[in-house]
Structure 1
């Protein structure tokens, strides 16, 4: 048997390939939308990708399920659990819809379907047994967003991100029951989750890429709870705010997206910039001069996690960026279902548009008389509740384009996050909304607390 894990650190998302080395058949589980990496591995190993499967309709990234089925002429396997509201649409005609207890054979590798609702009603896991090696015992389980290293899938995304009222309580109850199903399996069984640290699909995901069921039984908080009410209370508390794009992902992954292909994006400096404008330069470069209305999301490994809060899926996009990044940028945006990158303005030619700037203040200077200042804390709710300045007002940085800010647009506002990264993004969002007198506090709340010592 062949096994490979693929980790996309920009979304903290994990997909897998398993194959039978005798028959050369291979299967991809929870594929990302850009499928080139799977093709490269299959070609190098001499495999044919004959199966592609998904554990559930994802909310945090754009699925490559349909693209992979088409590109590799592979049979798709998807959940037929969860009721009529949770059925995949626009799938290939030969798609196999599986239920609890069904068996998928990839050559001599067996995957048994187990319905594990909670994160979503249709969620399934795949229990792998290597029949080719003569094993009668399961080697591991692909858990998707059911069981993580150190955590379990959150049940509130449908309500928080897709406005499906009442689904949090239903999901939490189902998750408790799904967890009981793990009692039937041995400690040595490996756990292969769909996400790692950095994902918003749970609140305390571990950075270790895989685990064993025995280790999780001893170290994962979810196995400490025997009372359902106590479990549900803990599961539904202090979950991180889901990025705005999550609601869009549920829709497109259920209904399908056009096949992704890299295109030639126009590189120019026209008088008018089409659609929404994102400035991908560093926060240090942005603060010195920028086009008012542009959102500053530096192009690094956290780009998607931050940009997903602000992208309007109904508008084309202009970016101020390095034109050499066109291909990777298109692939990154495709990972969250956005395909309408219209224009790239080269960084070294963008100053013709600049009509604004902002100032920073050191934490030492800020704390000299901070009690009389208007302070906006843009951290997460859990961070804010864990400790904050008594005169600070809280608005999550990702909601600054939509929620009420408790100050007038001409008032002086001092903005901070935890370390200074998110507050710099917040500065661009506030400027876009017409707040003229905003100041960014360097080093964030951590720097402020240090300066107070």
Structure 2
């Protein structure tokens, strides 16, 4: 048997290629929209991608299952979603609990493991006719040290009263694991950095026995206590999650690898992908979201899928950023600008800020709810950095405002948004709340 795990750092996402080397067939599990890496890996091993499946309708990235089906593979999708979360416009076989997908001498047995979403399934992997499973592809069911959040249908897709139902289903799905041997490997759909859980581990795989002994989710035997714990302190889902749920259910367009061309000036809504230090000294009319491993998780708060977008940055970085935006289904990057001539914004170091009388100044805290709840300045106003375009800032646009996050990255994003909104006297606190503390 051939086995390969793929990791996308931007999305903290794992996908898998499993093949039967005897027959030359292979299956992809939870593919990203850009299927090039899977094709290259299969060709290097002399395998043909003949099958494709996924564990659920994803909320955090654009699925590649239709891309793989389009190249001739047989697709398999969950039939457990009910009328609201049934796959649309897809040429795939519908599978349920107990069904088996055979890929040469390799087989995948379907387990219905709802909780994260109603349609979520997992796959027990058997090799070469063995009766004992080798491992379990869990998608967003079991992670290393955590389990999938149950609130995305309500928080991101707007379907009310689904969070507690999902949490109850997750509790029952975990009980289903009691029947499986502890030695089986767990191959999750995400690692640390994903917003699909609140405390995901960075290790790429685990075992069921290890999770039983160490994960908080397996230690709680009372259903209501489990529900309360699972649904508390989940990170705020970026706004683009709702769009992903829709297009992955209804069908995303096939991906095109086009080149983004330059333009002399910003004419559309723009994202400035230059480092925050560069932006601070030479402002543009774009939202400053530096191109790094957090780019997609931050940019996803501000995308309008119905409108075109320009980027600000150098040619090579722009092409990478535009490609990555396609991974969350955004194809409408039109042009880019590589040179701007703007003003700079003001900053203050933590020591100087601590000398100020906080009762007499305006402070805007743009951190997450969890960070705010753990500790904050009682004089501050709190607005999550991702919600600044949709929430009113309760200060006069000419007043002096001190802006901070935890370490200085997200406050730089906030500064660029507030600049666009016409605030004229902004000061970014270098290194953020942790440095002040």
2:78 aligned with 1:83, yes or no? Answer: no
CA contact (8 A) 1:101 1:114 kept: yes
* CA deviations over 1:157-192 (Å, ceiling 9, x no partner): 111111111010111111111111100101101000
Residue 326 of structure 1: how far off its partner (Å): 4.3
Work out the CA distance in 2 between the residues paired with 1:439 and 1:35. Answer: 44
Q: Which residue of 1 aligns with 2:69?
A: 69
Residue 341 of structure 1: how far off its partner (Å): 0.9
Q: Which residue of 1 aligns with 2:369?
A: 381
Residue 10 of structure 1: how far off its partner (Å): 0.6
Work out the CA distance in 2 between the residues paired with 1:443 and 1:230. Answer: 37
Q: Which residue of 2 aligns with 1:113?
A: 110
Q: 2:333 aligns with which of 341, 355, 363?
A: 341
Q: Which residue of 2 aligns with 1:256?
A: 251
Q: Which residue of 1 aligns with 2:45?
A: 45
CA contact (8 A) 1:148 1:193 kept: yes
Work out the CA distance in 2 between the residues paired with 1:330 and 1:282. Answer: 16
- Classify the secondary structure of the residue corresponding to 1:201: coil
Residue 393 of structure 1: how far off its partner (Å): 1.4
How many residues are treated as equivalent by the alignment?
436
2:33 aligned with 1:30, yes or no? Answer: no
Work out the CA distance in 1 between the residues paired with 2:42 and 2:275. Answer: 37
Q: How does 1:402-421 map to 2 (within 5 A)?
A: 402-421=390-409
Gaps of 5+ in 2: none
2:433 aligned with 1:445, yes or no? Answer: yes
Work out the CA distance in 1 between the residues paired with 2:229 and 2:321. Answer: 38
2:274 aligned with 1:281, yes or no? Answer: yes
Residue 29 of structure 1: how far off its partner (Å): 0.3
Q: 2:215 aligns with which of 209, 220, 224?
A: 220
* CA deviations over 1:80-129 (Å, ceiling 9, x no partner): 1121111111112xx11101110100111110001111111111000111
Residue 310 of structure 1: how far off its partner (Å): 0.8
- Classify the secondary structure of the residue corresponding to 2:51: strand
Q: 2:93 aligns with which of 74, 81, 96?
A: 96
CA contact (8 A) 2:291 2:317 kept: no
Work out the CA distance in 1 between the residues paired with 2:415 and 2:57. Answer: 34
* CA deviations over 1:187-206 (Å, ceiling 9, x no partner): 10100000000000000000
Work out the CA distance in 2 between the residues paired with 1:436 and 1:162. Answer: 36
Q: Which residue of 2 aligns with 1:350?
A: 340
* CA deviations over 1:17-64 (Å, ceiling 9, x no partner): 111111110000000011100010000000000001010000001111
2:324 aligned with 1:332, yes or no? Answer: yes
Work out the CA distance in 2 between the residues paired with 1:327 and 1:358. Answer: 28
CA contact (8 A) 1:276 1:312 kept: no
- Classify the secondary structure of the residue corresponding to 1:26: strand
Superposition TM-score, scaled by structure 2 size: 0.98
Gaps of 5+ in 1: none
Structure 1 stretches of at least 4 aligned residues deviating more than 4 Å after TM superposition: none
Residue 410 of structure 1: how far off its partner (Å): 1.6
